[in-house]
Amino acid sequence: ADVTIYYAPGQKPFGTGTAAAAAQTSLIPGKSYAVLNTTELPPPAPPNPLPSMQFDITLQSSGTPGLSINQQAGFLGFSVEMSVANQILGKNSRSTLIQVPFLNLMSALIERSGRVNVRVGGNTQEQAALVDSLPDGRMLSKGDRSQASNPTATPPIIYTLDLLILMREISNLLNVRWYLGAPFNDTSHLKLDIIEHGQAILGDYLLGMQVGNEPDLFNVGQRARPSEIQTFITGVNNDAAITNKSMLMGPSVSGNGNFTEQQVWDAGFIQPDILNSMSHLTVEHYQDNNCALFFAGIGPLRDPQDLFPNFLKHSAGKSVIQPFINTPNAIAVPNKKPYIMMETNTASCGGFPGISDSFGAALWGIDYSMQLAYSNFSGAMMHVGGLTAFYNVRISSATNESSFHGWSVGPIYYSTLVMAEAMGPTNASQILDLKANNNSDFTPAYAIYENGVPARIALFNYIDDPSGASTYSATVSINGGSPLSQVKVKYLTAPSVSTKYNFTWAGQTFGGVYESDGRIKGDLDVKTVTCNGGNCVIQVPAPSFALVFLSEQAFSGSDTGTTVTFPTTVFTKTLNTATVDASILATSNGH
């Protein structure tokens, strides 16, 4: 009551008011940003009858048959559609404009597995053209969607060398390795410049060059692309600016097109003059597609509610691999070529709202990736699209809102984080599908071995049941060697398979929509389970995923516990801010 408030000239005590929060609408007519979609599908009811809620997992301390081949660190990586590289990686190579959340997200993976592999390519690689410069310091520009002549009508793009320099700058900060895509749509006019410059700029950080993307979907009738690979290879061999002539990757069929992978093999792909040019063999496949949302005439719109249960079971990931199941053992391993699932996710054409962005997709992503590793694939790249895709592992906010919105970290990023930790950094991990609980589709389990010794166990519960009646307990033990006395457990949890954000991995989270700068937040919560006579009982709530660490080495070995983090050092849209020198503020006597 004794205080008098004086207002500066022109300022009056207006009181306070409220206004609507800044809203975001889509730049693409008729399509809203995927992160704004709030669809939470009702979760499927628990199966009736329930699978057994108690079962044993007994591993052998050595000599276990049926393990996968040795898997390299960084098994699960990302496939970034070339046209959105400027949203995901950064604006250009000036290091102030690399996306800080991207660096932080990659750093969290490197903390666990020592490296991350990222592919830049996709449909847009086919019509990508290198230009000397673009206005406003841009490195990438999208053309007119109506000029697109690729299967998903993605607009043609033009790019500058700055895209490759940006990738190199990222690798100078963090151990990120790259796959790049070269166009294969017109073998009478080869465009090899991306290989020439890719090798010169990325050096050892370039892992391979993909020859064409899903050539079986090219709009060229029943033409046999396999024979044209020879033309491409001859072009590479005659190009003096290409120093490494044996880092090509193919055939990258989609499994849905004009010819099958088997037809590519039958057409003579597997012969020395082709294989000598190849560093990897590749394929691309999604579990399903939502293309009816984009294109007329390819069938009715699909209802995500009907499809949700298809993703919430062990046989889901297996079904994606099934068409290619023989390739690893019959073609890739005997010819000493790693076989990579180059582009994949829940559903092509952006995924399904309520499925691709749900906790269920995070469980699906881990199970599917582990199944790929168990099936002797050597790596997999989860696809990242633009702002309208539901399956994104993480996505930036629109440019004009980046000063007040962070990123939204989606389910598949959590899958990648868990995979990095489950497989670890040793390059000597092998994985076994345990076909647990009588091979139940709802409670799958895997064991991960390091140098032949059991290191970690992965336990899934796909059932959605808040009552607790579907929480199962797995009794874990190891035959031979000294009995287990205690194990550590990390959980990936969310209230429901339908939940969209705020999942926790060992108690930590990337939060909700627009909340993340790429650093995981919250207190680490690792459970310790004391074992009784070598038997360790692990509770697995419905739904959740649990990673059991069978030794201290298996625990500390796959998470160094120190993440390099990156601060935001540049701000845009600072025009409405005032700066006051701290020393003046301190003596300003309140003015």
Residue 213 interacting with ligand NAG (CB under 6 A): no
Residue 71 interacting with ligand NAG (CB under 6 A): no
CA–CA distance, 452 with 450 (Å, rounded to integer): 5
Residue 539 interacting with ligand NAG (CB under 6 A): no
Q: Contacting ligand NAG (CB under 6 A), which of 68, 113, 117, 388?
A: 68
Binding region for ligand NAG (CB under 6 A) out of 24-32, 150-158, 505-513, 529-537: 24-32
Residue 444 interacting with ligand NAG (CB under 6 A): no
Smallest gap from Cβ 234 to ligand NAG, in A, equals 30
Burial class of residue 486 (count of CB atoms within 10 Å of its CB; 0-12, 13-18, 19+): exposed
Sign of dihedral through CA atoms 91, 518, 27, 218? positive
Q: Contacting ligand NAG (CB under 6 A), which of 69, 98, 233, 447?
A: 69
415 phi/psi in degrees, rounded to 5? -60, -40
Which of 469, 467, 454 has the alpha carbon at shortest distance from 536? 454
Residue 22 interacting with ligand NAG (CB under 6 A): yes
The residue with tokens 């076989």 is 339
The residue with tokens 């959605």 is 464
Closer to ligand NAG at the Cβ: 378 or 544?
378
Residue 27 interacting with ligand NAG (CB under 6 A): yes
CA–CA distance, 258 with 82 (Å, rounded to integer): 24
Closer to ligand NAG at the Cβ: 196 or 401?
401
Residue 427 interacting with ligand NAG (CB under 6 A): yes
CA–CA distance, 161 with 577 (Å, rounded to integer): 35
Residue 576 interacting with ligand NAG (CB under 6 A): no
Residue 33 interacting with ligand NAG (CB under 6 A): no
Residue 376 interacting with ligand NAG (CB under 6 A): yes
Which of 217, 463, 518 has the alpha carbon at shortest distance from 349? 217
Closer to ligand NAG at the Cβ: 83 or 376?
376
CA–CA distance, 435 with 433 (Å, rounded to integer): 6
CA–CA distance, 381 with 394 (Å, rounded to integer): 14
Residue 449 interacting with ligand NAG (CB under 6 A): no
Q: For the segment 308-347, give every residue that binds ligand NAG (CB under 6 A).
A: 329, 333
- Both tokens of residue 478? 């190891």
Residue 375 interacting with ligand NAG (CB under 6 A): yes
Q: Please, are residues 137 and 97 in contact by the beta-carbon 8 Å criterion?
A: no
Binding region for ligand NAG (CB under 6 A) out of 85-93, 370-378, 509-517, 523-531: 370-378
- Both tokens of residue 99? 């996306």
Distances (CA, A) of 19 to 16, 23, 24, 175, 393: 10, 11, 15, 45, 32
Q: Contacting ligand NAG (CB under 6 A), which of 34, 57, 73, 207?
A: 73
Closer to ligand NAG at the Cβ: 217 or 458?
458
Closer to ligand NAG at the Cβ: 72 or 258?
72
Rg (CA), the chain: 25
Q: Please, are residues 538 and 489 in contact by the beta-carbon 8 Å criterion?
A: yes
Binding region for ligand NAG (CB under 6 A) out of 361-369, 425-433, 506-514, 560-568: 425-433
Residue 401 interacting with ligand NAG (CB under 6 A): yes
Smallest gap from Cβ 375 to ligand NAG, in A, equals 5
Closer to ligand NAG at the Cβ: 445 or 489?
445
Per-residue binding string, ligand NAG, 473-502, x by CB under 6 A, is: ------------------------------
Binding region for ligand NAG (CB under 6 A) out of 341-349, 393-401, 513-521, 559-567: 393-401
Residue 374 interacting with ligand NAG (CB under 6 A): yes
Smallest gap from Cβ 492 to ligand NAG, in A, equals 25
Residue 465 interacting with ligand NAG (CB under 6 A): no
Residue 580 CA to its chain's centroid (Å)? 43
Closer to ligand NAG at the Cβ: 170 or 484?
170
Burial class of residue 431 (count of CB atoms within 10 Å of its CB; 0-12, 13-18, 19+): buried
Closer to ligand NAG at the Cβ: 473 or 556?
556
Q: How many residues bind ligand NAG (CB under 6 A)?
A: 20
Binding region for ligand NAG (CB under 6 A) out of 134-142, 160-168, 398-406, 444-452: 398-406
CA–CA distance, 436 with 474 (Å, rounded to integer): 9
Smallest gap from Cβ 170 to ligand NAG, in A, equals 17
- Both tokens of residue 415? 């899958």
Residue 107 interacting with ligand NAG (CB under 6 A): no
Which of 424, 406, 423, 553 has the alpha carbon at shortest distance from 488? 553
Distances (CA, A) of 345 to 108, 160, 320, 392, 417: 21, 29, 10, 9, 16
Peptide bond between residue 101 and the one before it cis (omega within 30 degrees of 0): no
Number of H-type helices and E-type strands within the chain: 15, 25
Q: Please, are residues 294 and 349 in contact by the beta-carbon 8 Å criterion?
A: yes
Smallest gap from Cβ 72 to ligand NAG, in A, equals 6
Strands (E), 527-590: 527-530, 536-540, 544-549
Closer to ligand NAG at the Cβ: 33 or 503?
33
Please report, as ranges, the residues that interact with ligand NAG according to CB under 6 A.
Answer: 22, 24-25, 27, 66, 68-69, 72-73, 329, 333, 374-376, 398, 400-401, 425-427
